[in-house]
Amino acid sequence: MTDAPAPASKRSPKRMLLMLLKWGLCLLVLGFVIYQGYQLSSKEELAELHVDYLWLISAGLIYIVGWLPSVWFWRALMKSCGAEVSWWSAIRAYYCGHLGKYVPGKAMVLVIRTALVKNAGCRPALAALTATCETLMMMGTGLVVVGSLFPLVFTEEQRTRLPDFLQPLATSAWILPSLVIGLTVLCLPIIARLVTLVGRKMTPVEYQLDRPIVIRTSLLFQGLLMFGICWIALGLSLGFVLKSLQPDLSLLDHFWTFVAACAVATSIGFLALFAPGGVGVREGLLMWSLTAIPEINPAQAVAAAVLLRLVWLAFEILTAALLYYYKGSASNPA
């Protein structure tokens, strides 16, 4: 018993070094983005910024509601693996888990969601598996959205500045969308098979005899459609933030640009594991993507990237707090 703490103490310097490295990279990227934002905008443009807070509230509300299709898919995944989780439990775990992405590595999202559904009919291992699958499918769909809307994400001027090996995309912008959509549809059966195999391995055999685990291709296809709705909602949230800064901006004219910009910034920001919540990475990509909208000046692009982060974070905290507190007050004592 006395020797137990020794291994942990030996590993602690490595963990500390890794943590310092992650935070160092995060601060470096954040500093670079702040510098770029400062370089892009002028003092005159910043001084003329005005914010309509009603649009920001609308942006926060549509952001929260926009995740419900993703909750549906996660719950459907758990059900296909034999875990019957109520809508309330799934919603509560999902939204509370959102806050875990602000921990470097983003694994805390899985920890929170798993902890909140383990007593609601889903085994921890299965909850972690399905939550991981849902997250990867959501971000993967984001990249599909970016590829599908490639001509809207990149202006003609931006496409001509792509590396040489990507120049075919500059001359024929619809090559990438066609390839992305085609490969996505073709890969769905393979992905379904892999998830099914992993799910069976992580679930006790005696339980599978009663109800075999099968993740069907049709479910993944429905998930793609649901995630598409999510990205549309997130893009609309970005549009509302931009509308709060530029009242004359047409939401209809630039709607798909909002969706594409939001998808590219959020999906690639997710891949930056060193950045909590993609801080810095997402803002930098968002500022760059918004240059495709002529009505948005550099100062407004910088302000929109910052405001979007603040609005989403504020509504995430508020929603998670309300859901967690309400469940605690309504639960029966063990």
Amino acid in the structure at residue 55: W
Give the integer Cα–Cα distance in Å for 76 and 68: 12
pLDDT score at 108: 83
The domain locations on the chain are 51-327
pLDDT of residue 125: 80
The reported pLDDT for the residue numbered 332 is: 39
Using CB atoms within 10 A of its CB, is residue 286 exposed (0-12), middle (13-18) or buried (19+)? buried
Burial class (CB in 10 A: 0-12, 13-18, 19+), 205: exposed
Contact 108, 139 (CB under 8 A): no
pLDDT at 184: 83
Q: Low-confidence residues of the chain, pLDDT below 50?
A: 1-10, 207, 209, 329-334
How much is the pLDDT for 140? Answer: 85
pLDDT of res. 131: 86
